Amino acid sequence: MEKKDLFTHMQQLEDQVGGIHQYIGELKQEIVQLLEENKRLAIENQQLRKLLRRDPEPPEIVQEQEQTDKAVKEAPIVGEGYDNLARLYQEGFHICNVHYGHLRTEKDCLFCLSFLNK
């Protein structure tokens, strides 16, 4: 092989490696999206199963629950939003304004933790 052919061959290999690198990056993004969707669907599935498992309750219990629900609605629950965000973070989702709603692919997010600690 001549030097020029060797250089041309090396340039082609470099282009192929660049294309493979770009393709792997695209695959990573697609995997993250699929994982997020899978997690969301698993949570939705779990909630639907809980709804299906509930048994109809006797009328006395329903009336008592309605009375307690009215009392709860009258007194606002402090920190309910914070609890929901903490639960979402524990389930593996971002709650920070940078990546809100996306699945956390790594350990902890400093933005999310600083938001929780406010």
Q: How many residues does the chain have?
A: 118
Annotated ligand binding at 96? The verdict is yes
Read off the DSSP letter of residue 94. -
CB atoms within 10 A of CB 94: 20
Virtual torsion, Cα 51, 56, 58, 64, nearest 10 deg:
20
Q: Does 109 count as an annotated binding residue?
A: yes
Give Cα 24 to chain centroid, integer Å.
22
In this structure, what is the dihedral angle of CA atoms 113, 107, 101, 85, given to the nearest 10 degrees? -40
**Token pair for residue 14?**
């470099």
> What are the binding residues?
94, 96, 109, 112
- Residues flagged as binding site for Zn(2+): 94, 96, 109, 112
